[in-house]
Chains A and B, each alone.
Chain A
Amino acid sequence: MTLQRLFGLVLPVTWLLFALTCVIAAPWLPLSDPLYQDLLKMLEKPGAALWFGADSLGRDVLARSVYGLRVTFIVSVGSVALGFVVGGSLGLLAGYFRGNVERYIMAGNNVLLAFPPLILAVAMMAYPGAAVPKLILVLGLVVSSAFTRISRVNTLRFAQQEFVMAAKAMGMRDLRIMLVEIVPNLLNPLLVFALLGVALAAVAEGTLSFLGLSVPPPTPTLGNMIGSEVSSLREAPHAVFFPAAVLFLTIFSLNRVGEYIQRKLDVRESAV
């Protein structure tokens, strides 16, 4: 096995599977309560009992990292799924019907792109409401523009080909042509971007929670663990570095696997 394959595919996939298992099985794992404060163990160094040590309120950093990663996964996968469906369908409609439909959809997309994504997300977090659905909605909207673009470009490519013409000549209805003839061809490029999109959303969620604009404490997220423990970085770097490492490994793995599949499927970067 080459080094490239090891770091480019095997380790990232292993990490993602391991992380996903931990996150799903979290309630059944022998983890301590991520919210339980043991003030005697404040800032305790990592050891046999507390593998990742304790934070400034004496909470178990390992348990908090696992539950924090849970929020990361729910939010980033949820928002990408939303962006995938919304952006994918808009791009399909734009590429298939052309004309005014395309003009309006792409104009809307351009307006969305005029806002730096995180600035828009931060401002939208000012709205009241439960954090997780709000995050999924906001980040889903932000990532949807890329899906719209990819879906439209690929629909344009396929809508002119013979098999679509044939379907039209046979009198197939537009909706059926789109679903049966075109959508299967869009899945590859969209799924490749979806993996990279999950990484982007994970970064955005981490950033928002680092700023205290995601799920409110005491619920742990990787970002708010890092953000709130930065003040004790000197005495207890472990309380920051462990969640940071978990976040980094997850983003790194998603990027690696995404790029690996991209190369395998030979999806052109220009289409993305």
Chain B
Amino acid sequence: MRRILRGLPAIIAVLAAVSMISFALVAFLPGDLALLMLGDSATPETVAVARRELGLDRPLYARYLLWLGNALQGDFGNSARSGQPVIDAILERLPVTLELMLLTITLSLLLSIPLGVWTGYRREGMTDRVVLSLSMVFVSMPSFLMGVLLVYFVALQLQWLPATGFIPLSESVVGNLQSMVLPVLALALHDVPVYLRVLRSDIIQTLQQNFILLARAMGLPTAKILMRNALRPASLNLVTTVGLGVGRLLGGALTIEVLFGLPGLGQLLIESIYQKEYLVMQAIVLFVAVGFVLINLLVDVLYVLLDPRLREEHA
């Protein structure tokens, strides 16, 4: 706990800098922001209103503070086209992206933990060779390529699953999961090799430790040694990798949401750039970056839970 509290000022500083960059990203767009956002629908009156709402008549720092103050209260302004509050648009799309990421991380771990432990245990074995060769292929495959392959073979050729289209969870659980299978698979197949290789090399190192030798000497069954004694100390780097992987996953989710027509944050971000909805873009960038920082904070907490030695270090 103290470890986390000590890092708090640094995290607040990072969050402050993140908010400044998100603000600057839109504030420094060349040209009159109000005109840019309104586009063809601009009339002198609407431009004047937009200018006032954006605080364009004020100095930069005042605009930043105004924007930050509103953002902290959940007010990111309104969409220039539909008038819908930006925060509503984001909250509408967030669950889809969250579901996509949670399912992807779950599937990736379900695949990579047994494979990583086994290949680490039976190093240079048959499974190890096959898995490592395959992972070299998959890791070089950007998620949108994987998505296109899955659409072609699974959806178009075999016709097992729909290629695109999203069914909300509230409408049908089975339908929702069906529409998630290919997107999740496309993202997970890229992540599994990364996780697997991290875990494999840590398992190899852990298995050389004395306490594993002791467990063996005590006659514990191999499966128990691998999954109970070895996995926990070997999983620290994996946890960090998963935390950092969220960033890569968000990038992959952009293309996957567009390819499969999932109404998530990634799709909203792309739409907002095409439609010059800069307030939406700004809010998503801030939202995602803050989320990413918090997730990695969570990783630190998990670290302490996994490795009791860290708890005593600063006590």
Contact = CB atoms under 8 A, between A and B. Distances in A.
Q: Do A and B bind each other?
A: yes
B251 A207 contact: yes
A34 interface: no
Given A123-B281, A207-B255, A116 B247 contact: yes
Interface stretch (B136-144, B210-218, B303-311): B136-144
Contacts of A125: 273
A247 interface: yes
B250 interface: yes
Interface string B247-279: 110111011001100000000011001101010
Nearest to B17: A111
Contact of A114 (B142, B250, B252, B289): B289
Interface in A133-192: none
B251 A111 contact: no
Interface in B92-113: none
A10 interface: no
Contacts of A241: 152
Nearest to A107: B13
16 contacts: A107-B17, A115-B18, A116-B246, A117-B247, A117-B251, A119-B251, A119-B288, A122-B254, A122-B270, A206-B144, A207-B255, A230-B151, A233-B156, A248-B141, A251-B140, A255-B139
A244 interface: yes
What 6 pairs across the A-B complex have the smallest Cβ distances? Answer: A118-B251, A116-B247, A252-B140, A111-B17, A116-B250, A251-B140
Nearest to B251: A118
Contacts of B248: 116-118
* B14, B251, B252, B259 pick with most chain A CB within 10 angstroms: B251
Interface residues of B, number: 48
Contacts of B270: 122, 211, 213
* B15, B133, B140 pick with most chain A CB within 10 angstroms: B140
Contacts of A14: none
Contacts, number: 124
Interface in A238-268: 240-241, 244, 247-248, 251-252, 255-256
Contacts of A107: 13, 17
A118 B269 CA distance: 11
A122 B273 contact: yes
Given A111-B17, A126-B273, A118 B152 contact: no
A128 interface: yes
Contacts of B285: 115, 119-120, 123
B278 A126 contact: yes
Contacts of B315: none
B137 A119 contact: no
A43 B144 CA distance: 22
Interface in A7-28: 7
B196 to A, nearest CB: 15
A256 B137 CA distance: 10
Contacts of A207: 142, 144, 251, 254-255
Interface string A94-123: 000000000000010011001111111011
Given A125-B273, A126-B273, A118 B145 contact: no
A246 to B, nearest CB: 11
Given A119-B269, A199-B140, A230-B148, A124 B25 contact: yes
Contacts of A114: 14-15, 17-18, 289, 292-293
Interface in B120-147: 133, 136-137, 139-142, 144-145
Interface in B277-298: 278, 281-282, 284-285, 288-289, 292-293
